[in-house]
Structure 1
Amino acid sequence: MHKIKADGQAYKKLLQQYLESNNKSYLDEAKQMSISFVSRNIYPEEIVRIHMKAIDSLYGEVFNEYRQSLEFLLESLIAYRVAHEEYEKLKLEQFELRSEIQVAANMQKTLLATEIPKIEGLDIGAISVPLHQMNGDYYHFITAEDGALGVAIADVIGKGVPAALSMSMIKYAMDSFYEEAMTPSGILRNLNRVVERNVASNMFITMFYGQYFPNSSVFRFASAGHEPGFLFRAKDKSFIEFDAKGLVLGVLKHTHYTQYEIKIETGDMIVLLTDGVTECRRGDRFINREEVIEVIEKYAHLPAQKHVERVYMHFNQLDDFQLKDDFTLIIMKKTV
């Protein structure tokens, strides 16, 4: 209290000197006084109170209307300070949340990392671009002891940290399965049980799982409600949609997934994707599957990794292009 009284007296003296002399040098002293107020956590509304007391002491009730205007300013400043403190608190919380999400995103990349295998006679490319920091898409390659290649592509219906945790669970569940159970239908059946038991009832996962056998050039596959991929037939330059039906993972405990197989010829191309590829927007319209196919075919002469990157770049460079979901694309080309 003594310090505030002393501040009031010093302020009153400085204000009186300025008003009587109109000497601008006193403004510099006022700035220095304000700096000292800041260092001692004296808020703007307290300065207004000091100013009001100084005016009352110097001029009494002569400036009554002016005093009312200061009371109005005082209430405004009090409300401003409260709102400003809440705003700064919110900014700090948002910063901490962004930092935590970034840490989680980096951990997700580490946990879900998968290397593109080298399979003789097969050129493989993959790209996954998250809409936000956390990726709700997932792809994974598995090479069996007999040389068969397993490829999984999945999409969580739901985003953020819960989706990332779900994908981590899927990845480690797959790693724990016996190789004998790694058929497309077996993988999906087993994962369905894992998801049904461990994932919230409002979160589902779509997945396409395929197996390529280099010795026989056969591709086996099954789908759990996932976006249909394509097979490009080099012989007649046509795209065939993978016609595989199946319930998304986690809906029913006992679900059967039908397995299909198809022969892959030299020059053929397997295209797997998530709905983020076919639900991109350009302005106010969706980029449809036919356009996606055209772009994939346009860059088919490129090596597989450059191919998937160029497809994404093509769309990303369009005017008014908007990702509406995570964008994941895998292309596998039979070269011999």
Structure 2
Amino acid sequence: MPKVTADRFQDLADELENFEEIARFLRPSSGELPTLRGLEVAGLWLPLKASIGGDHIIYLDFKKRFDLERRARRAEEAGRPDVAKKLRELAHRAGILVADVSGHRITDALIAAMLHQAFLLGVYYELDINGEVTTRLFEHLNTRFYRTTATNKFFTMIYGEIIEGGRFRFISAGHEPPAVFSREYGRFVSIHSDHIVTLPPVGLLPQAGEPAERTDVPLQAATEPYSVNEISLLGAGDVLLLYSDGFSEHAGGRFFPGEVERVLAESADRPVEAICEILRERLLAAGPPEDDVTAVVIRKTG
């Protein structure tokens, strides 16, 4: 084995530091927290390594990001009133994406950055063409990442849209299921697995009908078209929780659901930003993270 000199070791350390700086620079912002009537949204993100990680959140406050009225007028001028109607309806909903790239390397943060740009570009096209985000966008993302990432690189993802009134419509690609906390009962309520359709992680398998191309994929293995799931927050104070497995598996499962349930019950009247900070403190008190940790708290206020 060749000997590594002190100078060569320092060169490698400098290169690694430079790569980390690039990864930090490329890490995109999650976006502005959505504001919707009767709902509050906040999140927490704890990367395992410094300020980069494979977990990522994207917030879509449609009315702030996309100038919906201008797009609606343009659709009407093009003779597409159905698209204009859907665009205006987006003012009363917000999109939230939580992704978890497999692994904990710096390159995983770059894959998260790739997802960020590809997803937002796709949303622009979806709104112009359909007036809403459709499942077709995620099928295209799966195909693109399947063809361009290494065989051991994929990510789980949940994307959903919360609608004023508390309805949450979402698709899941191998991700942790949403959890609903009932303020009335002071605990998480069961969501039967039969009510949630989840498909393989993004980039793991080809989309149904697409050629496999890679030799590591078994014949006939494919990701079927995405299905939209729906759950609802029924009462004031109910909480919808989205999270990565670094959150749910923290401290060997001693943190979630038990400790999280206690925090939500004790903090029912606190702002959601404060709840996220308490969750962060309790999580770190339970033990050092062994994975990137991400969670989004959505609470119905009326």
Q: TM-score, normalised by structure 1?
A: 0.66
How far apart, in 2, do the equivalents of 1:125 and 1:228 lie?
18
2:182 is matched by which residue type in structure 1? R
Alignment of 1:57-72 (within 5 A): none
- Residue deviations 1:193-230 (CA, integer Å, cap 9, x gap): 2222222221111001111121x532111211101220
- Residue deviations 1:167-218 (CA, integer Å, cap 9, x gap): 122111221221237547444323212222222221111001111121x532
The answer to whether the aligner puts 1:121 opposite 2:38 as a matched pair is yes
Number of positions where the alignment pairs a residue of Structure 1 with one of Structure 2: 246
Q: Secondary structure at the match of 1:289?
A: coil
| Alpha carbons of structure 1 residues 224 and 184: separation in structure 2 relative to 1, 3 Å | farther
**Structure 1 residue runs of 4+, over 4 Å off?**
181-184
Alignment correspondent of 1:89: 8
Q: Secondary structure at the match of 1:176?
A: helix
| Alpha carbons of structure 1 residues 197 and 241: separation in structure 2 relative to 1, 3 Å | farther
- Residue deviations 1:66-97 (CA, integer Å, cap 9, x gap): xxxxxxxxxxxxxxxxx8x8134313421331
- Residue deviations 1:277-310 (CA, integer Å, cap 9, x gap): 12223xxx44353334334423343211111121
How far apart, in 2, do the equivalents of 1:209 and 1:114 lie?
15
CA contact (8 A) 1:229 1:241 kept: no
Q: Secondary structure at the match of 1:165?
A: helix
2:289 is matched by which residue type in structure 1? L
Which of the residues 305, 325, 328 maps onto 2:273? 305
Alignment correspondent of 1:208: 158
Q: Secondary structure at the match of 2:242?
A: strand
CA contact (8 A) 2:32 2:61 kept: no
How far apart, in 2, do the equivalents of 1:183 and 1:237 lie?
34
Alignment correspondent of 1:236: 185
Q: TM-score, normalised by structure 2?
A: 0.73
Gaps of 5+ in 1: 1-82
Tell me which moved more, 171-180 or 218-227: 171-180
2:56 is matched by which residue type in structure 1? Y
1:240 is matched by which residue type in structure 2? V
Q: Secondary structure at the match of 1:151?
A: strand
Alignment correspondent of 2:239: 269
- Look at both structures and tell me which one has the larger radius of gyration over its CA atoms: 1
Which of the residues 15, 18, 21 maps onto 1:102? 21
Q: Which has the higher contact order (CA 8 A, sep 6+)?
A: 2
| Alpha carbons of structure 1 residues 186 and 301: separation in structure 2 relative to 1, 3 Å | farther
Alignment of 1:5-44 (within 5 A): none
Alignment of 1:96-175 (within 5 A): 96-108=15-27, 111-133=28-50, 134-144=52-62, 145=68, 146-147=90-91, 148-175=93-120
Which of the residues 243, 248, 252 maps onto 1:278? 248
Q: CA RMSD in A?
A: 2.4
Gaps of 5+ in 2: 63-67, 69-89, 209-223
| Alpha carbons of structure 1 residues 290 and 127: separation in structure 2 relative to 1, 3 Å | closer
Q: Secondary structure at the match of 1:132?
A: coil
CA contact (8 A) 1:184 1:222 kept: no
1:252 is matched by which residue type in structure 2? P
1:197 is matched by which residue type in structure 2? R
CA contact (8 A) 1:184 1:209 kept: no
Alignment correspondent of 1:176: 121
Alignment correspondent of 1:4: none
